[in-house]
Structure 1
Amino acid sequence: MSENTLPVVVVGAGPVGLAAAAHLLDRGLEPLVLEAGEQAGAHVREWHSVRLFSRWGEVVDPVAEKLLAPTGWTHPNPDSYPTGQEWAQQYLQPLAEVLGERVRFGARVVGVARRGRDRVVDAGRESEPLSVHVQTTAGEERILARAVVDASGTWASPNPLGADGLPALGERAAAARIAYQVPDLADPDVRARYAGKRVAVAGSGHSALTALVAFAELAEAVPGTHVDWLLRRGEVGNTFGGGDADQLPARGALGRRAATAVEAGHITTVTGFRTTAVEQTDAGLVLESLDGRRLAPVDEVVVLTGFRPDLSWLSEVRLDLDPTLQAARALAPLIDPNVHSCGTVYPHGARELAQPEPGVFLVGMKSYGRAPTFLAMTGYEQVRSVAAAIAGDHEAAERVELVLPETGVCGGAGLFDDPGAATATATATTATAASEGGCCGPAEPVGVTISPTQVTLND
């Protein structure tokens, strides 16, 4: 079989993976999408109640829309903001149905290699196709591919509570009382789990802010509900984001709402807290920080400290990733939270995403490694370029067809943990701590005061 007749394997039937399939098909190439879950957008459906920062007009890929058009599919209101559930049901599922048998569910990719060559062997490497090892309910199979587009994302690999990147002591043992995604408090069972309880929320990104807003609303309805908000950084600084300056208005509004939630008094902010241990006691879970501080017992813990890529099944192909972020090397300087508070990532494609292993591309959230805040439109531009490159249209692959909003990367760890490095850089929403904070700050939680004029919502 000629390599040119082999399919291009796309890993993951999420927004970027399905867009990749649409672009490949538009180029006359045969895509094969392998999805471990049982539905399109399996990961998106897990945060179904959360509303996107981007409007419908920004989360539908134009080539995918063209593919959907003959089915009578109607584009939702482009100026409205979908929830994860709406995105999956109204766009991703119909797109997967149009692609038909080109999308296989319950097919987990467990390895990718060059046929007959491990990563060490040079001889004859470029003449061999890629071999994709897939696990299904029927057993394991191997699929030969001319190229592999990894759009598997990072959702399945959340970062742990432990501040050193590994689970804190006792974290695994306490797993029944620790969640790693924003709780859906509209679900009666989930609501009952947290109502009237003391909850520790760890994290400083958009997921954490979303959780703070939800818990503050719960606290207003159910007395006794309280949140200890744990920040590894030494001060709140620009955690609430760009406010009115954010070119994604919904993202700026979230920061303002979170600031209001903190001011309402249902949330206690604890800065410079790097969790090293979780102790189970009769009174609840006691979290201990690197500096020896111990929080009062909490009933539940919600860990929203970001995600990381699973590279284990790519161990036999040659990758060149940034050693810090595990992101595509060319992107890392633009998205590194050690450097950027709110960085701007230029539109990019095959050139930045190509790996030393010919035909292997990491796209979507996985291309960012451990960096936060990926936009769907970034992924759509990525796969447009990658599909063109695989088809041999290098002029189109190099062309830029996207203008991104500014403030595309906000927050993170690294230097933000140093209060001296986290000066007041937020342009519209700022916060001042009652203490200097820092890794060796006072053992008691600190309060956060927000000026009402800085958090006015533009509803």
Structure 2
Amino acid sequence: MQKQTLPVVIIGAGPVGLAAAAHVIRKGETPLLFEAGSTVGASMLQWGQVRLFSPWRYLVDQQAQALLEAQGWQAPDPDTYPTAREVVERYLFPLAQVPQVLAALQLQTRVTAISRLSMDKVKTPLRDETPFVVRIQSGNSEEHDILARAVIDASGTYQTPNPLGAHGLFALGERSLGDHIFYGIPDILGTERGRYAGRRVLVVGSGHSAQQTLLELAQLSEQEPTTQVLWAIRRPAVGQLFGGGEEDELPERGQLGLRSLALVEQGKVRLFAGVQIHAVTRTAQGIAIVGEEERIGPVDEIIATTGFRPDLSWLRELRLALDPALESPTGLAPLIDPNVHSCGTVPPHGVDELAHPESNFFIVGMKSYGRAPTFLMLTGYEQVRSIVAALSGDWEAARNVELVLPETGVCSADGGSCCTPAASPLLTIGVTRRRASTGRS
């Protein structure tokens, strides 16, 4: 079989994975799109109650919109702000029903490994000309292999949250208390209400996900006055914790910071800075944060909004070039390092920065940022546009990358904590930057 006739495999049917599929389809090719969940946008639905900071006009990929409009799709009001669930139901669900996308999509199908046909990681001769072997498992069926000419990994990071532990490891005792720790943004006023009403709840993390969670807990405490809300952050001082306020280009995001600040000032939320969690333990009085007992009393529940990290275990047989700290592609790492960059200072990047020694394999979307908490959705759309252009041989378009990001300074370079991956609602625009084509192919 000629390698060029094989499909482009896309892993993950979230917004970026579906956008990648749309770009491949618009180039006249047929992708294969594998999604481990039972529906497209499965991870977004886990925090579906959260209202996004950006209006609809910034949430839809252009090529995806072209496919949808050909089917008679009516775009939502571009100036309204949807929840994550509304994005899935009004955009991703219809996109998944476009005939070309539907034909490519396989739900409840997990990619368990990727390699090269009849080659392990060590073998080099003819490697770039050899098809990929993508091993998949659908439901409870046996694993089987399919061949691909290129692979785009848009599987995200939501299923691999960072632990509470200050070392980057699980805190001692954390795993054994898993039934009292929620990672991400729980539906506090909905399905998880009974879990938190009237309880002592500790939120750990300093990003927008933490602040969104605190607002919902504060609302719950008004309805259930015995609910106590505590907030622990690792940073030693508040600094720019509450963002740009009225200076934020996205009013909803600015208001989130202002409302969170008000909760602290009004005493509705008790804030503890400089908290380094090394161990947690179960006591007769509740869950204790070892070493912090003098400040943080026992709690009943912990919500960890500490960000996420990529799962690289099933990519072991591929030759990846990953930054040793961020676990992002080495070409991208210096552009997104949260010690230097914020959400709004990431420069344009595309196929070149996302390339690995393994030819025609790419990690995109939130997973491409590794552990850097500064990813914005529009970045993912531009990533897949550039990559698909390169795969189709249009290197001029691939390297003519543009990126539209905020310039307000609301995302500080203090570890990037204001732009946590759990806050993927941070879909925003600002000014355009262009990198001219190098002419290299």
Question: Do they fold alike, i.e. is TM over 0.5?
Answer: yes
CA distance in 2, matches of 1:413, 1:159: 18
Match of 1:440 in 2: none
Match of 2:61 in 1: 61
The counterpart of 2:188, out of the listed 163, 182, 185, is 185
CA distance in 1, matches of 2:412, 2:325: 16
CA distance in 2, matches of 1:293, 1:335: 37
1:400 and 2:401 matched: yes
Match of 1:312 in 2: 313
The counterpart of 2:243, out of the listed 241, 244, 259, is 241
The counterpart of 1:113, out of the listed 115, 123, 134, is 115
Q: Displacement, 1:403?
A: 2.4
Change (3 A) 1:360 1:293: farther
Change (3 A) 1:404 1:410: closer
134-143 or 86-95: which moved more? 134-143
1:218 and 2:232 matched: no
Deviations 1:256-291 (A, max 9, x none): 1111122221211111111111111121100124x8
Q: Displacement, 1:350?
A: 0.8
Match of 2:338 in 1: 337
145-154 or 343-352: which moved more? 343-352
Change (3 A) 1:238 1:342: farther
Match of 1:123 in 2: 125
Match of 1:267 in 2: 269
> Is the partner of 1:32 in helix, strand or coil?
strand
The counterpart of 2:159, out of the listed 156, 160, 168, is 156
Residues 373 and 416 of structure 2 are in contact (CA less than 8 Å); yes or no, is this contact kept in structure 1?
Answer: no
RMSD over equivalenced CA pairs, Å: 1.9
Structure 2, unaligned stretches of length 5 or more? 418-441
Match of 1:133 in 2: 135
Residues 130 and 145 of structure 1 are in contact (CA less than 8 Å); yes or no, is this contact kept in structure 2?
Answer: yes
Change (3 A) 1:386 1:341: closer
> Is the partner of 2:76 in helix, strand or coil?
coil
Q: Displacement, 1:341?
A: 5.2
Deviations 1:151-192 (A, max 9, x none): 0011111001111111111111111111012121231x5112
The aligned length equals 414
Match of 1:301 in 2: 302
1:231 and 2:233 matched: yes
Give the 5 Å matches for 1:4-23. Answer: 4-23=4-23
1:32 and 2:27 matched: no
Match of 2:347 in 1: 346
Structure 1, unaligned stretches of length 5 or more? 417-459
1:358 and 2:333 matched: no
What letter corresponds to residue 375 of structure 1 in structure 2?
Answer: L
Q: Displacement, 1:143?
A: 1.0
Change (3 A) 1:76 1:387: same
> Is the partner of 1:403 in helix, strand or coil?
strand
- Quote the sequence identity (%): 54
What letter corresponds to residue 183 of structure 2 in structure 1?
Answer: Y
Change (3 A) 1:327 1:293: farther
What letter corresponds to residue 298 of structure 1 in structure 2?
Answer: V
CA distance in 1, matches of 2:351, 2:50: 31
CA distance in 2, matches of 1:342, 1:19: 21
Change (3 A) 1:407 1:305: farther
Normalising by the residue count of structure 2, what TM-score does the alignment of the two structures yield?
Answer: 0.90
CA distance in 2, matches of 1:361, 1:237: 36
Give the 5 Å matches for 1:310-459. Answer: 310-340=311-341, 343-406=344-407, 410=411
> Is the partner of 2:381 in helix, strand or coil?
helix
Q: Displacement, 1:296?
A: 1.1
The counterpart of 1:285, out of the listed 268, 284, 287, is 287
Residues 345 and 408 of structure 1 are in contact (CA less than 8 Å); yes or no, is this contact kept in structure 2?
Answer: no
Deviations 1:10-34 (A, max 9, x none): 0000000000000011111221100
Match of 1:94 in 2: 94
Residues 342 and 407 of structure 1 are in contact (CA less than 8 Å); yes or no, is this contact kept in structure 2?
Answer: no
CA distance in 2, matches of 1:330, 1:92: 30
What letter corresponds to residue 319 of structure 2 in structure 1?
Answer: R
What letter corresponds to residue 214 of structure 1 in structure 2?
Answer: E
Residues 339 and 415 of structure 2 are in contact (CA less than 8 Å); yes or no, is this contact kept in structure 1?
Answer: yes
